[in-house]
């Protein structure tokens, strides 16, 4: 997992127990088995086969057999494979190591915010019309829950969540609406809770007091 716009470290997990000289190795990283991300050809970096989106975005640490991918974006999500080949003769090579990893991108959602959609004063038996929104996150969240608390009781209700994805950044914006009778009990607090995926926990709004 890596945060959006941060540097990702992809390891080859190559022990090199035989201490093979890097000048006798071809090392390349590829994505989804079709895009060449980085290539080191007998000790020299080779650029002509690289997929355009990875040009000038990678650095290799041969001491640690690690590739750095700079400025990670949502489109970089996927499976990466590191393949190491050893020179056997002048014309032949053999694959001596392969490893794989999956990259998942995370972008932080804004703190959910509650807005009041009704106009005018709240009257008993009238309706309270609220929305809760959060933006700029990734991946798509699980769900949004409303919490309605008075005295020592809290009711929770999972509401329909409208999800939209920005066509350029691929980040998600989410909104949920709540329409309830105006609480007539003692002071009531209403909050909304955004449940994230990938064991990322949840975000809670500042409570609205009625």
Give the residue from 106, 130, 162 where a domain finishes.
106
Give the residue from 106, 124, 143 where a domain finishes.
106
Split at pLDDT 50, 70, 90, the class of 135 is very high
- Look at strands 161-165 and 113-116 and give their pairing: unpaired
Host domain of residue 200: 110-209
pLDDT per position as a tens digit, 54-83? 999 999 888 888 999 999 999 999 999 999
In the chain, pLDDT over 70 holds for what percent of residues?
99
pLDDT above 90: residue 184: no
pLDDT above 90: residue 151: no
- For residues 109 and 164, the answer to whether their CB atoms sit within 8 Å is no
pLDDT per position as a tens digit, 70-122? 999 999 999 999 999 998 888 888 999 999 999 999 999 999 999 988 777 77
User: Both tokens of residue 30?
Assistant: 């590829």
The CATH number assigned to the domain holding 23 equals: 2.60.40.10
What does the pLDDT read at residue 164? 96
| Strands of the sheet with 161-165, listed across from one edge | 113-116, 127-137, 172-181, 161-165
One domain for residues 89 and 47: yes
pTM of the full predicted structure?
0.81
One domain for residues 200 and 136: yes
């Amino acid at each position: 997992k890596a945060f959006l716009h941060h540097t990702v470290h992809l390891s080859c997990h190559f022990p090199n127990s035989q201490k093979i000289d890097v000048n006798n190795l071809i090392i390349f990283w590829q994505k989804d088995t079709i895009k060449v991300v980085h290539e080191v050809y007998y000790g020299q970096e080779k650029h002509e086969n690289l997929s355009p989106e990875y040009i000038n975005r990678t650095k290799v640490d041969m001491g640690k057999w690690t590739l750095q991918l700079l400025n990670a974006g949502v489109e970089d999500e996927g499976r990466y494979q590191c393949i190491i080949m050893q020179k056997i003769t002048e014309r032949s090579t053999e694959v001596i190591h392969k490893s794989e990893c999956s990259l998942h991108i995370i972008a932080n959602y804004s703190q959910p915010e509650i807005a009041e959609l009704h106009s005018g004063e709240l009257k008993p038996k009238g309706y309270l019309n609220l929305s809760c929104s959060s933006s700029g996150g990734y991946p798509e969240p699980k769900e949004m829950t409303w919490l309605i608390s008075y005295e020592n009781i809290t009711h929770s209700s999972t509401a329909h969540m409208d999800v939209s994805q920005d066509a350029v950044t691929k980040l998600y914006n989410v909104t949920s609406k709540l329409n309830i009778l105006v609480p007539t009990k003692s002071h009531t607090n209403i909050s909304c809770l955004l449940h994230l995926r990938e064991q990322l926990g949840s975000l809670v709004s500042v409570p609205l007091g009625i």
